[in-house]
Amino acid sequence: MSLDSPKEHAIELVGIDKKFGTVHANKNINLTVAKGSIHGIIGENGAGKSTLMSILYGFYQADHGEIRISGKPVTIRDSQAAIAAGIGMVHQHFMLVENFTVLENVMLGAEGGQLLAKGVASARKELKRLEDDYGLEVDPDAVIEELPVGSQQRVEILKALYRGADILILDEPTGVLTPPEADHLFKVLRVLRDQGKTIILITHKLREIMAITDTVSVMRRGEMVATRKTAETTVEELAELMVGRRVLLRVEKGAANPGGVLMSVRNLTVKDSRGVTMVDDVSFDVRAGEIVGIAGVAGNGQSELLEAIAGIRKPSSGEIFIDGKPVAGVDPAGLRDLGLAHIPEDRHHMGLVLKFEEYENSILGYHRDPRYGRGPLLDLEAMRKDAEEKIGKYDIRPPNPRLRTANFSGGNQQKIVVAREIERDPKMLIIGQPTRGVDIGAIEFIHKRIIEMRDASKAVLLVSVELDEIRSLSDRILVMFAGKIVGEKSGEAGEQTLGLMMAGIAA
C-alpha cells in the first residue's frame, strides 16, 4: 500500500452536514479514503458513523456537503444510485432471503430480463469468476439458511461485488462471527484490497481496527475528530479519541470469594419452536459471589439456555434449582419474586418496549409491585420519581423519564435495563450480551456494576459472544457448542484455547 502518495481517492466527503430535528448527527465531516485501502471508522454509538454511511449509501440526503467518487462529484439519492456509483454495503444484519439459494440471492434485483434461465447461466459464470478472483468460496446452490453465518456474510459480499461494487462498506461485520471466521473474513478483505477494491470498515472493536485497517478515522458526537495511519497509533489513543477521556480497557476486579450454590441446572434440555434441540443435557452450578461466563458463538444454544432459566421458555426436560427449590416451569414473574433478575440479550425486543416512555420501561416486569401503585392502578408520580432516581444513579442521558425509549442511544437503553434489574437488589442475576451495541464509556460502567454484584455475594451468570468480555469478567468460563457445554476453564483461559472450543474443535 502506498499510503504516503495516494494516487487517487476512492471517496471524498467534503463538508457533509446532517441534522435530525435538534440532533446534529454529522457536523461538517471531511473524509478521504484512498483507493485500494482498508479504512476503519470507529466511534461510540450515536457518534454519527451510521448516519454518515447511510448518507453515502443513499438512505439519507446530507443537508450540505459533497460526495466525490474517484474525484467526480455525485448525488446519491437512493441505494440504486449508490450501487450505480460502485458502492456496495454489507449490513450488520444480513439482507438475504433465507430459503433461497446463494445464486438466487446474488441475482435478486439483478435478474436481467423477464425469463430467468439466461440470467441464471450468466450469474453462475460471474459468480465462479468472483470466487476465483477473491477466494470467496461458497456453493452457489446451497440454501442460505443451511449455511454457517460466516458463509452467509460472504454471500453478502458476493452480492455487492456481483453488482460491480468497487467500494465496500462493512457495518460491524464480525459481531456474529467466531474468531476463526473473523480471521477468514479479514483474509478475504485483504485479498479484495490487493485486487484494488476499497473497503470501509465500521466497527467498535479496536483490536480489529489495529489488525486489518490501513487508516482509521475516529468520530465523536457527530464530528470527525481524527484520522490516523493505523501503524502510527495505539489502541489507547484511539479509545481516548473516541470517548474524549482516558478509559480503562481492562476491567479491574479482585479475587472471587464464592459461597454456596444459589442456582443449579441439571440435565436441562430445551427445544426451539420447530422442535430442534437447542440446549442438550446441560448441567452446571452458579455460586454466590462468582461470575460464571458462558462463551460460544451466537446460535449455539446460549439464548435458549438463558430464556429457560428466566422462565420464558419451557425446558423439555431437566431441572433448574434456585436456592435448592425446583423452578422449571415457574413463570418470569414468579422467578422475579424468588430474587432472579434478568438482563436479556435483546433489549429492543425483550428488555424494553421501545415505544414506551423511559419511566414506563423502568418498571417492566416489576409493574405489579405495590410501590408503583396500589391495587389495580399505576401511580405515575411514584414511577417517575423512581425512574428519576435510577437516571441519576446510572447517569442515563438525556435525563428525561418522559422521553421515548427508542430515542435513547444503545448504551443508555442498556443502562435503563441494567438499572431496573440491579436496583431490585436480586439474589441472582442472569445477563445476556450486556454490552452489545453499547459504547465504551457505558461498557466500562456496566462491567463495574456486574462486578459489584459479584462482590455483594450475588450469583451472576453471564452469556456473551464477546470473548473479551467473558474473559475479563468471568471467574469460571463454560464453553457452549451445538447445545452442549463442551468444557470449563478458569477465567484466565487463553483466547486461542477458548476460540477452538467455541468452534467445536478441541475440548
- Alpha helices, DSSP H only, in 169-318? 179-194, 206-212, 235-243, 302-309
Find the part of the chain contacting other proteins (CB under 8 A) among 117-125, 248-256, 271-279, 345-353: 345-353
Q: Does 274 bind other proteins (CB under 8 A)?
A: no
Q: Which of 356, 382, 427, 488 is the binder for other proteins (CB under 8 A)? A: 356
**Residue 33 bridge partners (DSSP):** 11
Measured from the CB atom, the residue of 214 and 345 that comes closer to other proteins is 345
Q: Does 365 bind other proteins (CB under 8 A)?
A: yes
Find the part of the chain contacting other proteins (CB under 8 A) among 82-90, 100-108, 278-286, 346-354: 346-354
Binding mask 374-403 for other proteins (x = CB under 8 A): --xxx-x-----------------------
Q: Does 275 bind other proteins (CB under 8 A)?
A: no
- DSSP class per residue in 467-482: HHHHHHH-SEEEEEET
Find the part of the chain contacting other proteins (CB under 8 A) among 368-376, 384-392, 462-470, 473-481: 368-376
Q: How far apart are CA 326 and CA 335, in angstroms?
A: 11
What are the φ/ψ torsions at residue 266 (nearest 5 degrees)?
Answer: -125, 120
Distance, C-alpha 71 to centroid of its chain: 34
Task: Give residues with Cβ within 8 angstroms of 116, minimum separation 6.
Answer: none
Q: Shortest approach of other proteins to residue 79 CB, angstroms?
A: 10
Asked whether the beta carbons of 330 and 336 are under 8 A apart, the reply is: no
Q: Which of 109, 329, 334, 398 is the binder for other proteins (CB under 8 A)? A: 334
163 burial type by CB count under 10 A (0-12 exposed, 13-18 middle, 19+ buried): middle
Q: Does 506 bind other proteins (CB under 8 A)?
A: no
Q: Which of 59, 94, 186, 321 is the binder for other proteins (CB under 8 A)? A: 59
Q: Which of 36, 88, 293, 351 is the binder for other proteins (CB under 8 A)? A: 351
Q: How far apart are CA 263 and CA 341, in angstroms?
A: 12
Q: Shortest approach of other proteins to residue 78 CB, angstroms?
A: 9
Query: Residue 107 has which C-alpha cell?
Result: 441475482
Asked whether the beta carbons of 14 and 68 are under 8 A apart, the reply is: yes
Q: Does 310 bind other proteins (CB under 8 A)?
A: yes
Q: How far apart are CA 353 and CA 101, in angstroms?
A: 35
Binding site for other proteins (CB under 8 A): 19-21, 59-61, 63, 310-312, 331-336, 342, 344, 346, 349-356, 360, 364-365, 367-368, 372-373, 376-378, 380
